[in-house]
Chains A and B, each alone.
Chain A
């Protein structure tokens, strides 16, 4: 087994779809939380194959998309400092700040370096002792333990010229906010498999019980997602609201304890602003007291940078599942991956980028289906 081909098998996928068609009697509205799952759904057109009336709503699970503009502006301010190397993931390079983006700063001479793994920033710091090296780390619970290793290694090895600009968010508080909203339409939830492989399943069991909503922890391949949709629909049809695990091959009930220990050694839970959603209580991570000396915002005095979202972008509604990308008047015209207005068009996991990549030519929206610009601000 290679754990990929088997879950891209067309016949297995179609047999799951046939099961779904047999059991679904109502137009259920389901949400996939993770941007990786959104990408698979749109790439393979899975959401368009569902029985009539059933709908997939795309959730806020794209960490690049929910990173607030001011954090991007802080990264840009750091990248413009002399003798400073800003290190980050490729996804962050083109996310628009209020005036510029990191790639633009790099083109103008800023030392901005793209890495595959956060450990590379430790190497860069050791190789450049005369420079300040800042690792700009974003991500959900999946990525936070790996990013935490940067601070842990810096402290252990006494690396003085390395610090972190972090924007970490936690999934359950944001899901809770969406489910408790008076605008909520979501009746069943596909929970993010890789987040759960670290954090375990407990938090989602609590959410299912508290909000009486079925939750299935799902994988990322087409067969995984179709099976998760079948499991959710079966629960809804039977009137159940349990937490179930479709992604058993990678998610254990207890998660990865060692990764969680590393995460909470370095970070502590805090309130966090989400781009599009606003402030969400206890939904973020900040460096704990023992690691605060590695906080780039404190080291370089960036706490006061604060900016507003661009008015035309409706990413707030997209990220809450209240609008689809093609309902935005700027989609594909004034907002494209080359010239994005908002982060969901930039990130490879953003819903707008997925729609642009795979379905910008299918069926134009009529004027009255478009959401007026500015509503998402």
Chain B
């Protein structure tokens, strides 16, 4: 029930007093209510729960914690411990080793 999906805010519109927005999840664009997060700005990522944007996703924090985890892993020599490893994966072009198959995701389908 608390499932929330991150999406990119493409535009903000006022629909008869209700602040709404178009949010892109992967390839799907949905109308989302911004009444609980009026400060969200176009171009930002927001977490969407039951049709409402509930919080902004902070790109700086995301990048910092991601880089911290990568560094912590490298310090312990783990990121280079897997066969066929190159450098640590880039943030915008994540690579995975071929033997790791994650189940299909249900992005954009909050239940």
Contact = CB atoms under 8 A, between A and B. Distances in A.
Contact of B51 (A11, A118, A138): A118
Nearest to B99: A10
A223 B65 CA distance: 11
Contact of B97 (A4, A10, A143, A192): A10
B49 A146 contact: yes
B62 to A, nearest CB: 4
A15 B54 contact: no
Nearest to A194: B2
Nearest to A137: B50
A262 B4 CA distance: 19
Interface in A117-132: 117-120
Specify which of A2, A35, A139, A347 lies most central, judged by the most chain B CB atoms within 10 Å of its CB.
A2
A34 interface: yes
A135 B100 CA distance: 43
Contacts of B47: 194, 197, 250
B76 A15 contact: yes
B29 interface: no
A242 B57 CA distance: 24
Nearest to B102: A8
Contacts of B57: 3, 249-250
B92 A1 contact: yes
Contact of B73 (A19, A89, A90, A246): A19
Interface string B67-111: 001101110101101100100110110101100101101010011
Interface residues of B, number: 54
Chain B interface helix/strand/loop/mixed:
loop
Nearest to A65: B1
Which size bracket describes the interface of A in this complex?
A: 35 or more
Nearest to B105: A4
B110 A249 contact: no
Contacts of A320: none
B62 A139 contact: no
A149 interface: yes
Contact of A89 (B1, B72, B74, B92): B1
Interface of A: 1-6, 8-12, 14-16, 18-19, 22, 34-36, 43-44, 61-64, 89-91, 116-120, 138-140, 142-143, 145-146, 149, 192, 194-195, 197-198, 220, 223, 227, 246, 248-252, 256, 258-259, 262, 347-349
Given A1-B63, A15-B72, A198-B54, 7 more contacts: A12-B73, A19-B78, A22-B76, A138-B1, A143-B2, A194-B3, A198-B55
